Amino acid sequence: MRQHALVVTDKAERVYHYHANTIHMLSEMMGAAGLSHPSQINADLLMTRDSNGQAVPFSSKEITLAEGVLLGTPELIELLPEPFASHWQLASENHFGVERLVV
């Protein structure tokens, strides 16, 4: 197997150009959408495809929770939509992460 050592100066130049091109393309897309700042980008403007192949805004798939609902009473917790309900049941104050996730 032939391996090549990482040439930091070459890699740094490639990363620099990749980042510069990414920022340039972001500004091009924002200009085409009539936006002047990245903070104006929202889920209504970004598109994805649904299971039928139709383009739909991300906002149609976005699940939001009311502020503080996870700190609420057990009755409120029982009303959580998926996938929050399953994940919340597996959460523990005793450790970080989940033991197993049943989907």
Token digits of residue 15: 């990363």
- Residue identified by tokens 């889920």 is 43
Give me the tens of pLDDT residue by residue for the chain, a chain 103 residues long: 566 788 888 899 999 999 999 999 999 999 999 999 999 999 999 999 999 999 999 998 878 887 878 887 777 777 888 888 888 878 877 877 666 655 5
Say how far residue 68 (Cα) sits from the centre of its chain. Answer: 21
CA distances from 19 to 23, 27, 39 (A): 6, 12, 19
pTM of the model: 0.51
